[in-house]
């Protein structure tokens, strides 16, 4: 540990909590205490938090008051995660139709953090959280970093899109928090040209980060560039991937080029899920203290461990805009086996439905698929309120790449009578990235699902054969 690590943990992080009204220090202490609890103790803790949340939902959230009364359910009936089955699952459509009724009357509207999904499941959604939820999220991440020998205050080189790399001014509190406390140096994965990769490489060498973090596909493009140019790499302790499914050959390449272990994470801010790989690499440890994860069929029937189904979550920390049994839109399974590291938390096996494999333009330039939903926002920026307005006119979307590398964007609008020309910016965004490809935008009534039944926002049937760039 360096002096900066110590100052960060014991001085800067508590100051951050004071200024931001968060409780990361307290949450982190608790999570570190829980790290090696048995499955039974974790389950007891989860059930206690669940009972408190359900009571809060019934008493302060109009949607749940109505739902419980209609079904004749009393909050006291839900005592364990098995009891959740008496409730129907919550879909994005239900939340959109009842948005205002999901806000808890017990939360000061000034404390709400308005959020939206980056669209990785192909269905836009706006929702709210508060600082308690945010604190638990940060604490879970910091605890996992410790598993890897990474401490708060170690420098992170972060390469990704808006979902992990929101750019805030260094003069804003959020910007300062990210730079001084999280020491996160953010770089955009929107442009993946060789010139840009050279700039990223030079920035990385100058920064000498302890960790690289980002979309697996974006880091893979950087790794391949470094390999192609035979450039030396500064010592990196760990590579942290997130935001999309990490393809196994990308993982191998990252390990090989950066000479460091790769740890994957799976999260969904709307569902309050955060799960991290531990050094045993046997799956992703669920943060059981902050979220109940069930794997269900579409109707909410719980599936046994080992069987792939819908990820259905109950976020135990979001008291502002609570979701009970929310279908995130991803598919995954929970492993039957526990991890050999001895932790009591369950492991998520493979996550399906978040495509991490690269797509290519006609010149063979790869594009991270996780960038594709951001191109549905004007200026690729989903943090601007006016950009979100247009985005929320989209009900569902799918980006298809056919056998010759051209791009077809399918949009299903919330209101089919909406003027179509207001979406012309989407064509411009895609044409800028898919240089030389034919880009078409088509408005449809339904988005096709995959033969497996899963919904995927990016469907690529185009395999790039040029071995020079692999």
Q: Which residues bind Zn ion (CB under 5 A)?
A: 278, 280, 339, 341
Please write down the long-range contacts of 373-376, taking CB distance under 8 Å and 24 or more positions apart.
373/118, 373/119, 373/120, 373/122, 373/397, 373/457, 374/118, 374/119, 374/161, 374/162, 374/163, 374/190, 375/426, 375/429, 375/430, 375/433, 376/119, 376/426, 376/429
Smallest gap from residue 55 Cβ to Zn ion (A): 33
Smallest gap from residue 237 Cβ to Zn ion (A): 19
Smallest gap from residue 338 Cβ to Zn ion (A): 8
User: Of 88 and 279, which has the nearer Cβ to Zn ion?
Assistant: 279
Q: Where does residue 70 rank: exposed (0-12), middle (13-18), buried (19+ CB within 10 A)?
A: exposed
Smallest gap from residue 273 Cβ to Zn ion (A): 17
The SS3 assignment for 187 reads strand
User: Of 79 and 280, which has the nearer Cβ to Zn ion?
Assistant: 280
Smallest gap from residue 280 Cβ to Zn ion (A): 4
Smallest gap from residue 282 Cβ to Zn ion (A): 6
Backbone angles phi, psi at 256, to 5 degrees: -65, -50
User: Of 280 and 412, which has the nearer Cβ to Zn ion?
Assistant: 280
Count the alpha carbons within 13 Å of 198 in the hemisphere toward its beta carbon.
4
Nearest to 383 by CA among 100, 169, 231: 169
User: Of 275 and 314, which has the nearer Cβ to Zn ion?
Assistant: 275
Calpha distance 448→397 (Å, rounded): 10
C-alpha torsion sign, points 68, 71, 74, 76: negative
Q: Find out whether 350 and 332 touch, Cβ atoms under 8 Å.
A: yes
The per-type count for the chain, helices as H runs and strands as E runs, is: 13, 19
User: Of 179 and 338, which has the nearer Cβ to Zn ion?
Assistant: 338
User: Of 327 and 347, which has the nearer Cβ to Zn ion?
Assistant: 347
| CB-based burial, 276-292: b 16+ in 10 Å, e otherwise | bbbeeebbbbbbbbbbb
Smallest gap from residue 348 Cβ to Zn ion (A): 12
User: Of 347 and 367, which has the nearer Cβ to Zn ion?
Assistant: 347
Smallest gap from residue 400 Cβ to Zn ion (A): 37
User: Of 159 and 240, which has the nearer Cβ to Zn ion?
Assistant: 240
C-alpha torsion sign, points 243, 245, 249, 251: positive
The terminus-to-terminus CA distance of the chain in angstroms comes to 38
């Amino acid at each position: 540990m360096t002096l900066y690590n110590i100052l960060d943990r014991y001085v800067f992080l508590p100051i951050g909590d004071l200024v931001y009204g968060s409780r990361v220090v307290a949450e982190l202490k608790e999570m570190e205490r829980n790290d090696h609890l048995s499955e039974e103790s974790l389950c007891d803790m989860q059930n206690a938090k669940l009972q408190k949340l359900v009571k809060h939902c019934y008493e302060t959230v109009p949607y749940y008051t109505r739902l419980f009364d209609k079904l004749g359910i009393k909050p006291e009936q839900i005592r364990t995660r098995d009891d959740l089955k008496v409730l129907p699952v919550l879909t994005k459509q239900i939340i959109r139709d009842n948005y205002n009724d999901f806000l808890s009357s017990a939360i000061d509207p000034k404390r709400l953090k308005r959020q939206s999904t980056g669209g990785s499941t192909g269905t836009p959604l706006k929702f709210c959280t508060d600082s308690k939820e945010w604190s638990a999220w940060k604490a879970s991440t910091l605890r996992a970093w410790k598993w890897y020998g990474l401490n708060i205050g170690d420098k992170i080189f972060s390469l990704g899109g808006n979902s992990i790399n929101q750019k805030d001014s260094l003069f804003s509190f959020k910007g300062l928090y990210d730079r001084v406390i999280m020491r996160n140096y953010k770089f955009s994965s929107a442009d993946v040209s060789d010139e840009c990769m050279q700039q990223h490489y030079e920035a990385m060498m100058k920064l000498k980060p302890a960790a690289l973090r980002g979309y697996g596909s974006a880091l893979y493009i950087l790794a391949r560039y470094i390999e192609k140019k035979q450039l030396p790499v500064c010592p990196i302790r760990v590579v942290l991937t997130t935001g999309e499914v990490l393809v196994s050959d990308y993982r191998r390449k990252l390990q090989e080029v950066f000479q460091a272990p790769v740890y994957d994470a799976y999260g969904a801010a709307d569902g309050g899920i955060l799960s991290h790989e531990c050094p045993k690499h046997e799956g992703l440890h669920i943060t059981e203290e902050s979220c109940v994860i069930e794997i269900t069929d579409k109707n909410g029937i719980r599936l046994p461990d080992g069987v792939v189904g819908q990820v259905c979550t109950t976020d135990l920390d979001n008291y502002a805009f609570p979701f009970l049994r929310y279908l995130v839109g991803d598919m995954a399974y929970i492993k039957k086996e526990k991890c050999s590291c001895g932790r009591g938390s369950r492991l998520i096996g493979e996550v399906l439905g978040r495509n991490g494999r690269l797509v290519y333009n006609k010149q063979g330039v790869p594009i991270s698929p996780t960038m594709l939903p951001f191109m549905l926002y004007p200026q690729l920026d989903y943090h601007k309120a006016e950009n979100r307005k247009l985005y929320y006119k989209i009900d569902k979307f799918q980006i298809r790449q056919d056998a010759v590398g051209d791009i077809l964007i399918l949009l299903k609008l919330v209101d089919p009578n909406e003027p179509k020309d207001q979406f012309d910016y989407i064509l411009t965004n895609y044409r800028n990235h898919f240089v030389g490809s034919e880009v078409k935008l088509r408005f449809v009534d339904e988005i096709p699902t995959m033969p497996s039944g899963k919904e995927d926002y990016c469907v690529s049937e185009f395999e790039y054969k040029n071995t020079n760039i692999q």
